[in-house]
Amino acid sequence: MQNGKNGTSGSHIEPRGVVLSKQNQHPDFKQLAKRLTAYGSVVFAEFALGGENAVVPGTGLSIEDFVAKVLLEYVTGKIKHHPSRGVLITILGAAMRNDIIDALRKKSHEREETRSQMLVDEDAEIKNHEKPALDTYPQQAFPDPGAILDEHEYRERVRLAVEDEPELKELAEAVIDLELYKPEEIADAVGTSAAEIQNRKKKLRRRLNKQGLVTSRRKKAESV
Partner 1 sequence: MKNRSPEEARNRINRLSEALFGAPDEIDEEEAEQLLKDAGFNTEALNDRLYKRLYAEAQQYWIARKDLPPLLKKALDDLRPLSSPPRNEAELARQARAGVERVIEKAKLLASAMVPEGPLRFAESYRSKQGLTETDRNKLDTVQEQLKRKIERLKGKDDKGR
CB count, 10 Å around CB of 192? 16
CB count, 10 Å around CB of 28? 13
β-pair type (61-62, 55-56): antiparallel
Binding partner 1 (rule: CB under 8 A), the pick from 48, 56, 61, 92 is 92
CA distance 116 to 29: 44
Q: Any contact of residue 214 with partner 1 (CB under 8 A)?
A: no
Q: What is the DSSP string of 83-101?
A: GGG--HHHHHHHHHHHHHH
Binding partner 1 (rule: CB under 8 A), the pick from 111, 115, 169, 205 is 205
CB of 114 to partner 1, least distance (A): 20
Residues in 48-77 that interact with partner 1 by CB under 8 A: 50-52, 64, 67-68, 71-72, 74-77
Comparing CB distances to partner 1, the nearer of 102 and 112 is 102
Residues in 124-183 that interact with partner 1 by CB under 8 A: 138, 149, 151-152, 154-155, 158, 171-172, 175-176, 180-182
Q: Any contact of residue 46 with partner 1 (CB under 8 A)?
A: yes
CA distance 6 to 180: 15
Binding partner 1 (rule: CB under 8 A), the pick from 56, 186, 187, 214 is 186
Comparing CB distances to partner 1, the nearer of 171 and 221 is 171
Q: Any contact of residue 101 with partner 1 (CB under 8 A)?
A: yes
Residue 61 in 3-state DSSP?
A: strand
Residue 56 in 3-state DSSP?
A: strand
Comparing CB distances to partner 1, the nearer of 51 and 126 is 51
CB of 129 to partner 1, least distance (A): 23
* Cβ atoms 213, 45 nearer than 8 A: yes
